Structure 1
Amino acid sequence: MARIGVDVGGTNTDLVLECRKGVFYHKVPTTLKNQSIGVVEGVKALCAKAEIEPAEVETIVHGTTTATNITIEHNGSECGMLTTEGFRDILHIGRHKRPYNFSLHFDVPWQSQPLVKRRNRIAIPERILPPTGTVETPLDEAAVRDACAVFRRRGIDSIVIGFMFAFLNDAHERRAREIVLEELPDAYVTLSSEVAKVMREYERFSTAAMNCYVGPKTAFYLNDLEARLRNAGVASKLRIMQSNGGVSTVEACAKRPIRILMSGPAGGVIGGASEGEMAGVANVITVDIGGTSADISTIPGGTVKIMNPRDTYVGGHPVLTPMIDLVTIGAGGGSVAFIDEAGGFNVGPRSAGSEPGPACYGRGGEEPTVTDAQVVLGRLDPDLALGGDLKLDPELSRKAVEEKVAKPLGLSVTDAALGIIKIINNNMALAIRSNSVARGIDPRDFSIMPFGGAGPLHGVALAEAVSAKDVIVPVAPGITAAVGLLKSDLRYEHTESGLIELGAATDADLDRLNVARESLREVITADLDADGIARGDQVIELVAECRYHGQGFELRAAMPDGAVTQANKTVIVESFHTQHQVDYGYSYPDQEVEIITLRAIGSAAVRRIEIPKVDRSDGSSTDRALMFVRKTTFDDGHTLDTPRYDRKKLLAGDRIEGPAILVQHDSNTLVPPGYAADLLDYGNIRIHALGVA
């Protein structure tokens, strides 16, 4: 049976199909008004390319930017909120963080772009007390009904319910939901205790509010996509990539769309880790450069990192959901170059996207972009973009760069185009350092892995900028994120509050901990059962999120097998000390360790896509792949006659010395003078300085 991975970006939608006939790749423009239209058209075109019927597709795994785009464009649902009396302004107050400590004029998103407007946050008399979750003030059910009447008059049907200490006792939140659905049967309701059953009311409320903010539109998109696929004759299971690098069902993601806020970039990181394994390289820094953004992640030892919950912000709002550790900046092929009011030369973060797109697309765009600069420099051949499917107009690129950048700055068109490339490369290099050097990781021990449609044109320049040892280019760089979707396991996560000091824990405390542990196991098992996973194939991992007494945030520690007892609780303590040493370089073995949260991670392995090896070279000349020679300008300003090679005709063991451009349907790879590109076993490429083994 066939499987398809679909990754929707801001400019293009990338697809990969694995079936009995082999592996096929495809790329179509993203339909921004409704991404599902482009996805369905791409699926049908890819099936036709592989000469199979859509009905033969067993599974489609989808990486989507729908939820992310809602947060960026600030066009989510109008939300209402029920919260505890006296705590109406938690979402406004936040943590009193000052993004600029010495500025009197700064903006904070949770105030300037609130997920729930203050007038729509209604306080309800109720109170639950820590640390046991006992009820001090019963829920005022009449007040909940009155609030629903207000929401009805205002046309609000996306409702957040966030009560104080609901992570200890969620009875009031659950009863409030029952009342809301009685009064507003079609409402989209989110409980803070369901999306983030952890302490810290601001982060918990913010997470629930974000779920309601993006929920209705995301749920509509996912359900609409599923329906359109069925109408197109595709009756396959649709699975969605989550921010944590695992996949889940449409139903689960429609209910909790906060899990897919980083859905698109996650597939690229998983794909990059797999490509590193194929190339025999453990330490890689992935740089996924599409049309709109660049997503950067550091993968040490082949292990994909999960971000610390204190750092998981989306659109400036804290969201307590597991996310792959990555940095996203506005840097891509569509990033617009412009001169600001002060005369400064800037590139991005604003993007031309796919409509109208770069000037060279001929769709009405008049602003110069990174893609236009590449065309001016001769690095993108107008007649070869997307294998010739996308015709580019080099005169439009030249005109845009000349009028918007070159003339205002008194530069030649070539120097202006080089300036665009240098600025965007420096922006990305800074982001790479923030995800590596700033965290104690030395890029000199890592390979840069550029992918996305624009990635391999920037790979060597980025490696030079951060002193990486070499560059590894994936087999299908423009489709790598889609390939990663077919290498991701099913994954579910749930949390329960712990709040136990391990050193002083009584048997009753440990009994409470074990009850929470079993409750988590049951919930995770139910998720996997609902997805049709046999019990023998289910893998459930339990971790304790701990901290030293008085610390502000937690680290994950291993749990002992079976129930926690007085005898084996030291397993958690020792694991935490070790993790603290790894993360911070020191630990305090004599200090008290407390559990704050228990987390259960349920997973089930899926069959990985198998990329076939390419034939090995017999030592014959690489001229078999030579297409033609054209002039190309490199970063040092020199313009050289540069051969183009058809990458599909290169074999394992071949070496191409720069200057050269390796051409394929989904991306081009730039090999500057002084560098060589070695073809590896799967057709992936290692680019390194000449004379370096």
Structure 2
Amino acid sequence: MKRLGVDVGGTFTDLILWDDDGSVTVHKTPSTNHDPSIGSMDGIAVLADRAGVAPADIDMFFHGTTVATNIVLEHNGSDVGMITTHGFRDLLHIARKKRPLNYSNYQDLPWQKWQLVPRRNRRTVAERIDAAGEVLTPLDEGDVRREVRLLKERGVEAIAVAFLHAYRNPTHEQRVREIIEEEFPGVFVSLSSDVAPQYREYERFSTTALNAFVGPKTSNYIDRLAGKAKQAQIGEDVHLMTSAGGLVTSRSASHTPVSLLTSGVIAGLLGGCAIGKASGYPSVITLDVGGTSADIGVAPDGRLRMKHLLDTRIGDYHAMVPMAEVDTIGAGGGSIATIDSGGMFRVGPRSAGAVPGPACYDNGGTEPTSTDAMVVMGWLDADSFLSGSMEVKPELANEVVQQIADRLGSDVEHAAMGIFSILAHSMTEAISLHSVRKGYDPREFSLVAEGGAGPLFAWQIAEQLGVPRVIIPAHPGITSALGLLTTDIRYEVPTTVWTSSAEPNLELVAAQMDRLSSEATSQLEADGIDASRISLERSVDCRYVGQGYELRVPAPDGDITPEWIEQVAAAFHEAHGRTYSQRFDDKPVQLVNIRVTGVGAVDYIRIAPIESGGADASAALTSTTKALFWKDETADPEWVDTPVYDRALLKAGNAFAGPAIVRQFDSTTIVGVGQTATVDHVGHIIIERNS
């Protein structure tokens, strides 16, 4: 079976073709941002030709995309109208009490400056359902028809429908959809009871509006890509990565595109998990460094951690959809070094990007970047950039880094080391935030370096955090595309139950659990998943009475009994103790939301062993270069004769000591002073620190 992974980024589209015989073919092509489906299909044609197969021979097509994310960040979504309950027109504007300036009555809040739905298009109708799901005021269908006609006259492209307590009883929202289809056929419709069926009015309204905002453009893109793939006979359907780390079909993604908001970022975390497991180190911290940003994830035992639903944001907007916990910071190969008016030495978050890029690209860049610093230090030379196919000028890197040195009153070597060290420290702090401060010890993890620049920084970050080893994948630059091939088709269906372990409403929990299980199974069956490949996973959002935040814990299978409730409460006490360093076993636990995730099993790829070559790595040694290294951050940098290895020539068992440089088409790896590197049985470079 041949499986294709395509990850579309802002600059490059990464592609990987994996065959069950273990053969791998990779390709990178510039993204076509005006229509990413063009770059994807062109790249697939080149990839298939390189692999010696026809596109029609590809059995499964997996896809990660930033289309929905870019629409939000660039504020270029669709014109949206909203229909809501009388009295709640301004809920999107009021939002939450948490504000950038707590005591200021005069401030431009980000979500108010860029409204998802302009106030004139937020329309109200008579209806009301209480928190128990009982109808207090029947839906006034005349109101609905009048407001839908008004929105049609105004030319909106999507309509969001969000009523109070619709998560308890969706009948009014469902009837509004029927009326919209009668009065305004073809418009994109987003119901809160479909998109985010759980309590918290503002977050539910925001998520519904966000789904409508990105819906038309994203669904059109998905339909174009799926249509082109079908025409080329590539697989049965396009499966897209969601923010929760699962796959959905193009049908589901077109209906709820808000679920795709962190698609590519999560794929990188999944790829890192697969790489760690293949090397025998399942607990991983992933560091995916590109030109502009660094994505950081922590996966104990290879399991994704989910964000709290009040923390799931994209840009300035709340998106109350399941999201795996990955943090993005402004630190990458293009991060610009400056000295501000106060004399503070800073690197990032401003980036030179791909255009003009670092000064050494000779493409108009005039400011020093971290890439320029690493050229100055001898880690990167003209042959480092796409195996020499990209022309660079080291003398330009020296000129711009010298400007920083002059401002600091130091030499160019110390300035370059400072640029690198500041950026590496930013990444270290972000990793610490997501590990140490959340109850995980980095010394019990392995650091997986991904992206074009991740293997350049990982050796230093491991030293700073005490991480025992760094894992460098065979193809660091396409790890996100690899991650697309390592997960199942997954649908998560939540609902709010509001019960307590002290006096549990077992009938309510059991009835809702059965309903959610049926819905999740039905979605998978609609996608053509065989019953033998369907399984269900349960989880519960819990908190102590009086808390404002929940923690998600896994829930056991079986009947809903008092013992089942006790097991959930025990799991919550354990999670609370690990997360906050305190637990209250004598306190009752509040069960807020329950969730059922339907899993449609997909055959995973296998990372195949490579040829063994013994410990001697001299056959892969291509040259020796002068490079700048230091024993620790308090030591002066020194120019060292440094061996340079060709990644393509390394074999399993090869070992060498640092300092060393390993070069390949899509990345460069640094092995630091006092570190040792070994190529494992699947071709990953394992860099170990001397404790």
- Alignment correspondent of 2:145: 145
Deviation at 1:394, TM superposition (A): 2.8
- Structure 1 distance, partners of 2:561, 2:653, is 57
Query: What SS does the corresponding residue of 2:53 show, helix, strand or coil?
Result: coil
Q: Provide structure 2 residue ranges, at least 5 long, that are not aligned to the other structure.
A: 631-635
1:371 is aligned to 2:371? yes
Report the alpha carbon displacement of residue 83 of structure 1 after superposing the two structures with TM. Answer: 1.3
**Pairs within 5 Å for 1:471-510:** 471-505=470-504, 509-510=505-506
CA-CA distance at 1:251 after TM superposition: 1.5
What are the superposed Cα offsets for residues 222-241 of structure 1, whole Å, 9 maximum, x if unpaired?
22222343455635531111
Cα pair distance change 1:233/1:424, threshold 3 Å: same
Counterparts of 1:651 and 1:427 in 2: how far apart (Å)?
A: 34
Measured in 1, the distance between the counterparts of 2:554 and 2:267 equals 27
Give the match's secondary structure for 1:526: helix
Asked if the contact 2:659–2:672 (Cα under 8 Å) also holds between the matched residues in 1, the reply is yes
Contact 2:286–2:448 (CA under 8 A) maintained in structure 1:
yes
Is 1:125 the counterpart of 2:121 in the alignment?
Answer: no
Q: Tell me which amino acid in the other structure corresponds to 1:271.
A: G
CA distance in structure 1 between the aligned counterparts of 2:522 and 2:306, rounded to whole angstroms: 24
1:511 aligns with 2:510: no
What is the CA-CA distance between 1:295 and the residue it aligns to? 0.7
Cα–Cα, structure 1 residues 412 and 499, in superposed 2: closer, same or farther, change >3 Å?
Answer: same
Contact kept? 2:110, 2:316, Cα under 8 Å? yes
> Aligned partners of 2:37 and 2:365: how far apart in 1?
24
- Deviation per residue, 1:503-547 (Å, 9 max, x gap): 334xxx533333222221111111111222111210112233233
- Structure 1 CA distance, aligned partners of 2:446 and 2:208? 39
Q: Relative to structure 1, is the Cα distance of residues 590 and 414 closer, same or farther in structure 2, using a 3 angstrom cutoff?
A: closer
1:640 offset after TM fit, Å? 2.3
Aligned residues: 685
Distance in 1 (alpha carbons) for counterparts of 2:429 and 2:577: 27
In 2, are the aligned partners of 1:23 and 1:611 still within 8 Å (CA)?
Answer: no
2:452–2:666 contact (8 Å) kept in structure 1: yes
Using a 3 Å threshold, how does the CA distance of structure 1 residues 375 and 36 change in structure 2: closer, same or farther?
A: farther
Structure 1 residue corresponding to 2:589, chosen from 571, 590, 593:
593
The residue matched to 2:167 in structure 1 has which SS? coil
Q: Does the 8 A contact of 2:438 with 2:580 survive in 1?
A: no
**Larger deviation: 676-685 or 510-519?**
510-519
Q: Residues 259-658 of structure 1: matches in 2 within 5 Å?
A: 259-340=259-340, 344-402=344-402, 405-406=404-405, 412-505=411-504, 509-559=505-555, 561-565=557-561, 568-619=564-615, 621-634=616-629, 636-658=636-658
Query: Could you tell me how far apart the structure 2 residues matched to 1:345 and 1:37 are?
Result: 42
Greater mean deviation of Cα atoms: 51-60 or 636-645: 636-645
Q: Secondary structure at the match of 1:614?
A: coil
**Retained in 2: the 8 A contact 1:30–1:354?**
no
Q: How far apart are residue 96 of structure 1 and its match?
A: 0.3
Give the SS at the match of 2:59: strand
Q: Residue 83 of structure 2 corresponds to which residue in structure 1?
A: 82
CA–CA separation in structure 2 for the residues paired with 1:346 and 1:106: 28
Contact residue 62 and residue 238 of structure 1 kept, 8 A: yes
Deviations 1:125-167 (A, max 9, x none): 2111122x11111222222223223323332121111111111
Distance (whole Å) between structure 1 residues aligned to residue 107 and residue 655 of structure 2: 53
My pick for the range that moved more, 65-74 or 563-572, is 563-572
Q: Secondary structure at the match of 1:540?
A: strand
Deviation at 1:650, TM superposition (A): 1.6
Distance 1:341 1:137 in 2: 61
* Identical pairs, percent: 44
Change (3 A) 1:185 1:517: same
Distance 1:318 1:4, change over 3 A: same
Report the 3-state secondary structure (helix = DSSP H, G, I; strand = E; otherwise coil) of the residue aligned with 1:383.
helix
Contact 1:167 1:199 in 2 (8 A): yes
Question: Are the structure 2 counterparts of residues 568 and 639 from structure 1 closer, same or farther at C-alpha, using a change threshold of 3 Å?
Answer: closer
Any conservation in 2 of the 1:24–1:50 contact (CA below 8 Å)? yes
Which residue number in structure 1 is paired with residue 633 of structure 2? none
TM-score relative to the length of structure 2: 0.93
CA drift at 1:12:
2.4
Structure 1 stretch 140-149 or stretch 59-68: which is displaced more? 140-149
Q: Compute the displacement of 1:599 (Å).
A: 0.8
Question: 2: CA distance between counterparts of 1:148 and 1:110?
Answer: 25
Kindly tell me: are residues 674 and 688 of structure 1, through their superposed partners in 2, closer, same or farther at Cα, counting changes over 3 Å?
A: same
**Contact residue 160 and residue 212 of structure 1 kept, 8 A:** yes
CA distance in 1, matches of 2:414, 2:554: 55
How far does residue 680 in structure 1 lie from its aligned partner after superposition?
Answer: 1.4
Deviation at 1:566, TM superposition (A): 5.3
With over 3 angstroms needed to count, the CA separation of the structure-2 counterparts of 1:81 and 1:104, relative to structure 1, is closer
> Structure 1 pair 527/266, CA: closer, same or farther in 2 (3 Å)?
same
* Residues 661/566 of structure 1: CA separation in 2 closer, same or farther (3 Å cut): closer
Q: Which moved more, 1:609-618 or 1:102-111?
A: 102-111
User: What is the CA-CA distance between 1:363 and the residue it aligns to?
Assistant: 4.2
Q: Structure 1 residues 5 and 161 mapped into 2: Cα distance closer, same or farther (>3 Å)?
A: same
Q: Secondary structure at the match of 1:472?
A: strand
Alignment of 1:90-169 (within 5 A): 90-99=91-100, 101=102, 108-131=109-132, 133-169=133-169
Does 2:33 match 1:32? yes
Give the distance between the partners of 1:346 and 1:220, measured in 2 at CA: 42
After TM superposition, the structure 1 = structure 2 runs for residues 166-315 of structure 1, keeping only pairs within 5 Å, are: 166-230=166-230, 234=234, 237-315=237-315
C-alpha distance in 1, partners of 2:150/2:350? Answer: 39
Paired residue type of 1:424: L
Q: What secondary structure, in the 3-state scheme, does the structure 1 residue paired with 2:383 have?
A: coil
Task: Tell me the C-alpha RMSD between the 2 structures.
Answer: 2.5
The farther-off stretch of 4-13 and 83-92 is: 4-13
CA 618–593 in structure 1, closer or farther in 2 if over 3 Å, else same: closer
Further displaced range: 100-109 or 441-450:
100-109
Give the distance between the partners of 1:57 and 1:114, measured in 2 at CA: 43
Return the alpha-carbon distance in structure 2 between the equivalents of residues 657 and 591 of structure 1: 54
Which stretch of the first structure deviates more once superposed, 289-298 or 181-190? Answer: 181-190
Residue identity opposite 1:111 in structure 2: Q
Q: CA-to-partner distance for each residue in 1:574-602, whole Å, 9 max, x for gaps?
A: 44344434433444344333332221101
Gaps of 5+ in 1: none
Q: Deviations over 1:111-136 (max 9, x none)?
A: 233322223222222111122x1111
Deviation at 1:411, TM superposition (A): 5.3
8 Å Cα contact 1:558-1:571 kept in structure 2: no
Confirm or deny: 8 A CA contact 1:3 1:59 kept in the other structure: yes
Please give the per-residue CA displacement for 1:269-306, whole angstroms capped at 9, x wherever unaligned: 11111211222223321111112211111122332212
Which residue does the alignment assign to 1:66?
67
